[in-house]
Amino acid sequence: MPQKSNPIAEVISSSITGVVAQCLMSADKDGMPEASKPRFGSFLKIHTAGNIDVLSVVHNVITGSPDAMHQPWALGLSREQLREEQPHIFSLLRTEVHAVVVGYIDCGEVYQHLPPIPPEVHDFAYPASDEEIRKVTQGFDFLRLVATVTTVPQDELAAASIREAYKANGEEYSFLVEAGQALSHIFKNDFDRLVTILRKIRPASTLPS
């Protein structure tokens, strides 16, 4: 399947349920290396060798040294000073994206369950299109897979992914109403968490000024 956008990351570890991808480096306006980092809760599409596009939700973005020999340390310099005095520092860092699989695309059809095969190492990850996000979030079954993540607060991740899907759905308020109904079923035994998520997905336009 041809891709219209440029990849933002390359898979370095994968399973049926999740992937770890390394952000690809590019040059900023000053020619310094820079990684394009996806937002927390945003949706990625990974094109696999099996001609299946795996859809996932970002649940962590980690920047650090790839090895124990070149660990970063505090230098007390501004980012501008680092660029001038020690520009090599930025090339010693890498950014990893951790994402939970929430569906896949096969022959143009979007499925809201785990794919039959995982992505391969070195497959590329792209931002999912609004249409792909709308299809994989329709019915909100994806939230049950998002809720399996235990490395970050589940209410934060659920709320962030719903906010991203809300944007892809043209910020239609009816989408949030349906999301709230789905959440009430998923977290029916945890009322406090349910209320927390509902507060986090509340549109800014409805908040008191």
pLDDT tens digit sequence for 149-199? 999 999 999 999 999 999 999 999 999 999 999 999 988 888 998 999 999
Residue 2 lies in a domain: no
Residue 4 lies in a domain: no
Q: What is the mean pLDDT of residues 44-49?
A: 92
Looking at residue 101, its pLDDT comes to: 98
pLDDT tens digit sequence for 21-31? 999 977 666 55
pLDDT tens digit sequence for 55-78? 999 999 998 877 766 666 677 767
Residue 93 lies in a domain: yes
Residue 147: domain span: 9-206
Strands (E), the chain: 9-14, 18-23, 25-27, 33-35, 43-47, 53-64, 94-106, 109-111, 124-127
**130 — phi, psi (to 5°)?**
-60, -40
Coil, strand, or helix at residue 109? Answer: strand
Residue 159 lies in a domain: yes
Rounded mean pLDDT of the chain? 87
Residue 192 lies in a domain: yes
Listed range (24-33, 98-107, 125-134) with the worst mean pLDDT: 24-33
By C-alpha distance, which of 92, 87, 68 is closest to 77? 87
Residue 1 lies in a domain: no
Residue 140 lies in a domain: yes
Total-model pTM: 0.85
Residue 3 lies in a domain: no
Total structural domains within the chain: 1
* C-alpha of 106 from chain center: 21
